[in-house]
Structure 1
Amino acid sequence: MEQSRYQEIALEIAHSIVMSEYQEGERIHGRSTLAGRFNVSPETIRRAIAILQNAGVVMVNQGIGITVTSKAQAEKFLRAFDQKTEVHVFLSELNEYMEKRRQLDLKIEGHLNKILLYTDRMMSRWMDVAEVEVGKDSVAAGQTLTQLKIRERTGLTVVAVVRKGIEQFSPNSGFVIESGDVLLVVGAEQGREKLQEIL
C-alpha cells in the first residue's frame, strides 16, 4: 500500500538508527535540516518525528532537539511495518488464485476484504498522525488534558501540542489547552470526530 510521505520519512530515520548511523543518546539534525534533506515541509517532518516519538524511538525536548532513545524500538517499529507489507503481498497472491477459481470468487473476496480492513485499521492507529486545532471560542480552552479526558472519551493519544509554532511533545496530564493550539493525535478516525465535538 502507498504510504504517506511523513510515514516514509519515519521509516527511513528508523532504518538509519538500526544501521547505527545514529547512536542511542545522539542528537539528530533539527527539523529544518531534516526538511531540507528530505525536501519536504517542516509539518511533514513534525508528523514523522511524532510517529517515532510515539513508538519510543526518539525523544524531543525543547532546547535540546531530537534525540535517539532506543535502537531496539526502532527495530520493533520496522518489523511491524515489514509484517504489514508481508500480509498485503500474501493477499495480493491470493487475489490471483481467486480469479482462477470463479466458483469461489464471492466467498474468497469477502474474506480478503475483511482481512484488509482489519489490517489497515490496526496499523493506522499508530501510523496515522492527525492535527486538530482548538478554535477561538472553544470550551476546551483553559482546561487541562486531565479535565478534557481525551483518551477516555475518544481513544486518541495526544502526542504533542503545537502552540505559536513551538511543539510540546508528550504533554503531561496537567497541560492547559489554549485557543489556537494544534493537537497532534494518534488514533482511529472515529476518535478524531469525537475530539472535534469536544473542541
Structure 2
Amino acid sequence: MEKARYQEIAIDIAHAIMMGEYHEGVKIHGRSTLAGRYNVSPETIRRAIAVLQNVGVVVVSQGVGITVTSKAMAEKFVKSFDQKGEIQVFVEDLKKLMDQRRETDLKIESHLNKFLGYTERLMSRWMDVGEIEIGKTSPAIGKTLRELKVRERTGTTIVAVVRDGFEQFSPDASLVLRGEDVLLVAGSAEGQEKLRSIL
C-alpha cells in the first residue's frame, strides 16, 4: 500500500498550506517550478494538483494557474491520509493475527488427527472381538482363567465364555475351563493369535 509519488507530493503541498507557506487566495508555483522542486515530471505534478483540486484544496484556472482555495480542506486532506496510515497499521496487525490463527488452526488440526488416530487404535483394540474354542485335548482344560494369566501373557481380555449354549459375561477368574468352551476374546489380532497358541 505504498503511496505513489504524486500522492506524496499532494500531501506535501497540502501540509505546506496548513503550515502557512501558502495562503488562501495565493497562487502556487507553476507546474514546471513544482516539477523541478520535487524532481519529478510535469505529468506527476499534474496528477498531484488534480488530487488537491478534487478535494477542494486548490483550483486550477486557465491563464491564472494554481490557487489555494481552502486551508481547512488541506488540513482535512492531510488528516485523512494520517488515518489511512493508521488503518494500514491496523490491517497489517490484522493480517499477522490471521496468520497466527491459521498456524494455530493447523496445530489444532494436527493434534486432533493424532488424537483421533490414537482413539481409533484404542477402540479397535477393544472392539476387535474374536471367538476361540477350547479343543478337547487343550492343555487349558481344567485350568482357571487366573492360572492361564491371559491378560499378562497375550494382552487380551476374555469378555465372555460360552458353555452349553449359555453365555457367561465377565467370567470370574476362578472359572475352570472345559473342552468345547468358546471364549469371546477382545484384543488385537496378534494378541488373539498368542492366546490360540496357549490354548
What is the TM-score when the length of structure 2 is the normalising length?
0.50
What is the TM-score when the length of structure 1 is the normalising length?
0.50
Bigger CA radius of gyration: 2
